[in-house]
Amino acid sequence: MRELRRDPLTGDEVLLSEDRVLERVPRAPHALGPEDCPFCPGHESHTTTTIDQIERDGRWVARAFANRRPAVALEGVEGVVRDGIHERTGGIGAHEVLVEAPEHAPLHTLPVQRTIDALTLGVRRLHDLRNDTRLRTVQWFRNQGTGAGASQPHPHAQIVALPIVPRRIAALVAHSRDHFQRTGRALLEAVREADLQDQRRVLFHEGPVLAVCPFAPRHPFEVWLVPAAPGPSFADAIPHEVDAVARALHRVNRALAEVVGAAPTTTTALGAPSGEDPAGLGWHVRIAPRLVTPAGLEEATGLAVHAVFPERAADLLRAHLDSPEA
Ligand SMILES: [Zn+2]
């Protein structure tokens, strides 16, 4: 049973997926060593069939396959069903796992080429999945650490494709469109320029990618990777951009490991819904350590509440940046 439902009062969306309950059963994932890890090389039969992979020297270095217990799947009722004031959408979608390296170790501790290959595969899968026009939002993300929801310690990302455009993405589109109509300029580009001019929150600027602590971070030590003039969605990223954003991600994650230790971290690529090219909206990557557990004020108001100003976060992270890897 999989359904997307909407809270009729707030409009908040919830993805209900019965199979997922199983994943909430504690099973000490960090106790999983390479010998019983389903993502380690040699254990491919413990996952579903490979959909796509990147090979080096005759062996895979990144591979994608369907999640065994998907949050959404290509089945069920299509479209929105209204039942009085209640609204539900069948759980049509896709849920893929992308193992990011053959090594059973955090991605930022491996050579930067692993991150480049991992993101290259991610963009390739996004590109393929958006050919299905029923899938409105094709979202790439990675969870690192159990507190961020990772059920396996082996480095991996996921892609979830949904038949709706969630409110948060719709708001991003609307803000960008409004700004473009008012000023004739791209909102993301305006944000990028303002940060470059200010400099206080900038970590580094290399090739097309600016690494910056955002003006209003939802999370302490949040970092954004913003390319120059990106396409509408991460699926549109070209190899030169993927290379630059992977190098930046690797460098930021190394600095974050120094500053916040092994804190659970989520990394997401935000951008336009599939098939849309709203004026002024481009993809960018957000890296968010999860150091704060949301409580009452956040729950009631949707406000993010924390103690770390981005200017201070940028100072600390800059002090821990190593030089870019060749
Ligand atoms: Zn492993």
For the chain, what is the mean pLDDT? 90
E strand or H helix that includes residue 92: none
**Segment 218-248, tens digit of pLDDT:** 999 999 999 999 999 999 999 999 999 999 9
In sequence order, which residues have a C-beta less than 8 Å from that of residue 297 and are 6 or more positions away? 303, 305
End-to-end Cα spacing for the chain: 48
266 CA to centre of ligand 1 in angstroms: 19
Q: What is the dihedral of CA 228, 215, 275, 177, to 10 degrees?
A: -100
Quick one: pLDDT band at residue 2, thresholds 50, 70, 90? confident
15 CA to centre of ligand 1 in angstroms: 28
Give me the residue label for tokens 């849920």: 95
43 CA to centre of ligand 1 in angstroms: 9
124 CA to centre of ligand 1 in angstroms: 23
155 CA to centre of ligand 1 in angstroms: 8
- What integer is the mean pLDDT of 147-157? 79
* d(C-alpha 112, C-alpha 247), whole Å: 6
Phi, psi of 204, deg, nearest 5: -165, 165
Report how far apart, in Å, the C-alpha atoms of 175 and of each of 167, 169, 195 are. 12, 10, 18
56 CA to centre of ligand 1 in angstroms: 18
34 CA to centre of ligand 1 in angstroms: 5
- Please state, as a whole number, how many other Cβ atoms lie within 10 Å of the Cβ of residue 265: 28
Q: Which two tokens stand for residue 110?
A: 């491996």
Pick from 106-115, 145-154, 211-220, 295-304: least confident = 145-154
40 CA to centre of ligand 1 in angstroms: 4
Write the single-letter amino acid at 162.
L
